[in-house]
Amino acid sequence: MSVFTPVTAADAAALLAHYSLGELERLEGIAQGVENTNYFLTTTTGEYVLTLFETIAHDDLPFYMGLMDHLAHHEVRCPAPMAREDGEFIGNVNGKPACIVSRLPGTPEMHPGPADCRAVGSILAAIHIAGVEYDAGLTNPHGHAWREHFAAKVAPRLTAAENALIESENRYQAMHDDTVLPQGIIHGDLFRDNILWDDEHGGGVIDFYFACDDALAFDLAITVNDWCSTPEATLDPERTRAMIEGYDRLRPLTEFERTLWPAMLRRAALRTWLGRLGYNHFPRDSHMTIPKDHAFSRRLLEHHVAHARELEASVA
Ligand SMILES: Nc1ncnc2c1ncn2[C@@H]1O[C@H](COP(=O)(O)OP(=O)(O)O)[C@@H](O)[C@H]1O
Ligand SMILES: N[C@@H](CCOP(=O)(O)O)C(=O)O
């Protein structure tokens, strides 16, 4: 997250008047993240996170709130949304829709080994399995149409080589029909910084605001691309194998998923690259934001394009 919309103690106290969460003790802006405004919020009853939604359509918010509520009740450790006294999860702060969720303890593991990756694979599979019973849906707003549209928008700011790579990758993706793959609720952003680990509970998952309906293997590819990549923008074979095993033991991959695995890894790398180009070339006015490395995502995509055989072998 970031702070795009500053929140004062008085704003937070006015919001808390709609909840039974006690009195405000402390409010602290969070620099991490790039999508929403976030604050740690401490009250006399506990520790929470206040989120102001900056870009998400108001109509989509019940999907995210309901999903966290559902998963929190289905053995996925994740933030629980706090209900207001009127029963709603969403309120308003400084003109922005806002929610309060429980704050998870723990810290991210930014230098994972194979054992961490195996655990993450199992956490992702548990989300996919629990998602089957969630009775709401959301079409991926960053699917094929978005990739094409965004490519045209960002094109004037990129080099000819970058535009050629995006164009050919969009063409490749259009040729690979993923509707044959199992679909369901995906997290969509299970990067290293979105799991908080603590000794007592293990991994807790945050940041469900890219969740949507899509191919489950695409979600695994997003996760592998982040957790199993090396600083040289390649995939570490041992970590990749461990994550796929951790996933597969709970939700076995189908033959189609194995066949389309290289395409999913490429699609995930393209999605992240385009997203990061957006943060970089069309920045929003933020009071606190940590930039994302878009060149790394391009190099990862280039690696995937050049090493199709290796990617196939990683899931064989
Ligand atoms: N429920 C939570 N419990 C603990 N920390 C959280 C929680 N939600 C967010 N955070 C903290 O805020 C940071 C940014 O959150 P994130 O959801 O990734 O932002 P964004 O919505 O911009 O993607 C996280 O890296 C984490 O430090
Ligand atoms: N994880 C994505 C984009 C969203 O970042 P977050 O820090 O807000 O989760 C990326 O790294 O590009």
Is 80's pLDDT higher than 90?
yes
pLDDT, residue 310, reads 84
Across the chain, mean pLDDT equals 94
Nearest ligand 1 atom to alpha carbon 1? 22
Is 282's pLDDT higher than 60?
yes
How many Cα atoms are found within 13 Å in the side-chain-facing hemisphere of 260? 25
Is 53's pLDDT higher than 60?
yes
Cβ(304)–Cβ(268) below 8 Å: no
pLDDT, residue 220, reads 98
CA-nearest residue, atom 7 of ligand 2: 33
18 alpha carbon – ligand 2 mean position (Å): 31
Strands 37-43 and 24-29 turn out to be: antiparallel
pLDDT, residue 284, reads 75
Nearest ligand 2 atom to alpha carbon 290? 7
pLDDT in tens, 82-127: 999 999 999 999 999 999 999 999 999 999 999 999 999 999 999 9
Residue 207 Cβ contacting ligand 2 at under 6 Å: yes
Q: What percent of the chain has pLDDT over 70?
A: 97
pTM over 0.90: yes
Token representation of residue 271: 């999605």
29 alpha carbon – ligand 1 mean position (Å): 11
Domains delineated in the chain: 9-102 (3.30.200.20), 114-314 (3.90.1200.10)
Distance (Å, whole) CA 110 – CA 191: 9
Q: Which residue has the higher pLDDT, 104 or 4?
A: 104
- Show the ligand 1 pocket: residues with CB < 6 angstroms: 1, 30, 32-36, 38, 49, 79, 101, 103-104, 193-194, 196, 206-207, 209
Residue type, 271: R
Q: Write 297-302 long-range contacts (CB < 8 A, 24+).
A: 297/269, 297/272, 297/273, 298/162, 298/165, 298/273, 299/233, 300/225, 300/229, 300/233, 300/269, 300/272, 300/273, 301/165, 301/169, 301/266, 301/269, 301/270, 301/273, 302/165, 302/233
pLDDT, residue 1, reads 46
pLDDT in tens, 11-37: 999 999 999 999 999 999 998 877 899
